[in-house]
Amino acid sequence: MTSAASSHLTGGLSTLVISGRVDADHAVLAPRGELVHGCAETLAKVLADLPAGVTRVDLDMGDVHFMDTAGLQFLEVLRECAGQRALTVTATNWNGQPRRILELAGLDTTDPVSGRTAAPAVPAPPPVPAASAVALERAERLRVLQTEVEQLRRAIASRPVIDQARGVLMATHGCTSDEAWHVLRETSQLSNTKLRDVAAAVTASADGDGPPPPPGLRTALQRALARRRRD
């Protein structure tokens, strides 16, 4: 027996719409559009609205035609949901530019939710004949793609220390996971400090013998926490 669910599980941003169905304990979701800023929040809302009896979630990514570094947060939401609700989660059928980003970032395109990585080599731009406008355009597109891939790699490497810092803020200040993430990001922006360095300072200061964050960073962190309390 199968149970029917809404055929339109939509998020709030026009850049990404997630439709789907639920059959008994199995949800099949079909994101459509772009994995850019806000996509993780859209996905989190859809997952939160799934029935409690769902034990498996399969995403068909075939209609996602573009992604930037926000795609990493999208995958992180899937991983967190799988862990917190003991779900089996897959995200398959990656095509075009999103698949290329995953390949160059070293992620397994058949199962990027697992977090498995390969060791890809990013090819150097091909020689560009001076007279070829097409070749110039391709070289520039490759340069932009390589920059995005490097950002993805740094984000992957930074994730463990950022998760630790989120845990520190949640335990110390009673934040939710999302609130702790926003506090870290705002502290990074206010202090003009890399997010990974902010997270490392917060984590180190939680140790009884650890050094406190530098004064500028400490001030920015206090401002970000104060703003969260007001909100």
The DSSP H or E segment spanning 16 is strand 16-23
Q: Please say if the pLDDT value at position 18 is more than 70.
A: yes
Predicted pLDDT of residue 134: 64
Interval 148-158 mean pLDDT: 68
Q: How confident is the model at residue 11 (pLDDT cuts 50, 70, 90)?
A: very low
> Among 2-6, 34-38, 88-92, 112-116, where is mean pLDDT lowest?
2-6
Q: What is the pLDDT of residue 88?
A: 92
What are the residue ranges spanned by the domains of the chain?
1-120, 157-231
Report whether pLDDT(28) > 90.
Answer: yes
At the topology level, CATH places domain 1-120 in Transcription Regulator spoIIAA (3.30.750)
The answer to whether the beta carbons of residues 158 and 195 sit under 8 Å apart is yes
43: pLDDT confidence band, cut at 50, 70 and 90?
very high
Output the average pLDDT for the chain.
79
What H or E segment, with its residue span, contains residue 32?
strand 26-35
- Whether 60 shows a pLDDT value over 90: the answer reads yes
Compute the CA torsion angle 219, 37, 123, 95 (nearest 10 deg). Answer: 160
Mean pLDDT of 189-202: 89
As a whole number of angstroms, the distance between CA 204 and CA 224 comes to: 19
Q: Rounded distance, CA 117 to CA 127, Å?
A: 29
Q: Mean pLDDT throughout 54-62?
A: 94
> Cβ-count burial of 58 within 10 angstroms (0-12 exposed, 13-18 middle, 19+ buried)?
middle
